Amino acid sequence: MDDRVVIALFRHGVTEENRRKAYLGWNDSPVCPESKIIFVTNSYQRYFSSDLQRCIDTAEILFPNSSPYLLKELREMNFGKWEGKTYEDLKENSLYRQWLEDPVLHCPPDGESFDEFTKRVDAGWARMIGEILDSSLQNAAVITHGGVIRYLLSKFAPHQKEFWEWQVNHDQGFELIFEKDSLRRGTRCTLLLEVPLTANGLG
């Protein structure tokens, strides 16, 4: 077991903007009341989080007094001028339609391209893994965003699936179980487990 490292990924709680189905990247939005009573039984040696308030608040809800290490690199994609807007707001916009058809080729105005987003997340992951390995941790948790988790799963899950094929809900987490050497080399983990979140721990 000493040669294995568990890294858990948790999405922040549902926010008011999520309820509206609005694009929420670098903007922030309050966590909804129903997300303030979620519960997870697992605990970890160290906690990392996006520096956006909805993730910091979720870390406090899931892991009280965890004092997570904040990484700006673990923010959601920056949607630029589309922040706070919904599909209905944007559906007549030709650039938006192009972006929906090919989000890798096209980019939100004043936002991030997919390439910029993934390179940023890669940099944050590298910082985090360096800390985990230098501290000889056996497990750690990350509180971040749906897009970040999708990307990390597409890159590190045992079975390869594309970014958009992953379903990342607010009421579940994922544990990626790595051999330490695989983690150091940046290759895929050996096992992926789902971690359910419950209301008040009652199921």
User: What per-residue confidence (pLDDT) applies to 28?
Assistant: 95
pLDDT digits (tens, 9 = 90+) for 102-144: 999 999 999 999 999 999 999 999 999 999 999 999 999 999 9
Q: Which of 38-42, 62-66, 158-162 has the lowest mean pLDDT?
A: 38-42
Angle at 40 between CA 36 and CA 44, to 5 degrees: 120
Confidence band for 201, pLDDT divided at 50, 70 and 90: very low
Residue 170: pLDDT band by 50, 70, 90 thresholds? confident
Q: How far apart are CA 17 and CA 27, in angstroms?
A: 10
Q: What is the DSSP letter of 93?
A: -
* DSSP helix/strand/coil, 136: coil
Please tell me the distance from the alpha carbon of residue 108 to that of residue 138, in angstroms, as a whole number. Answer: 39
pLDDT of residue 200: 60
> What is the pLDDT at residue 52?
98
Better-predicted residue by pLDDT, 2 or 101: 101
At residue 172, the pLDDT reads: 84
What was the pLDDT predicted at 203? 38
For a pLDDT cut of 70, what percent of the chain falls above it? 98
Reported confidence tier of residue 18, pLDDT bands at 50, 70, 90: very high
pLDDT at 181 > cutoff 50: yes
User: Could you give all domains of the chain from N- to C-terminal order, each with its CATH number?
Assistant: 4-79+116-199 (3.40.50.1240)
The three-point CA angle 166-170-87 to 5° equals 70
Per cent of the chain over pLDDT 90 is 87
Residue-level pLDDT at 202: 43
Of the given ranges (53-62, 83-92, 137-146, 191-200), which has the lowest mean pLDDT? Answer: 191-200
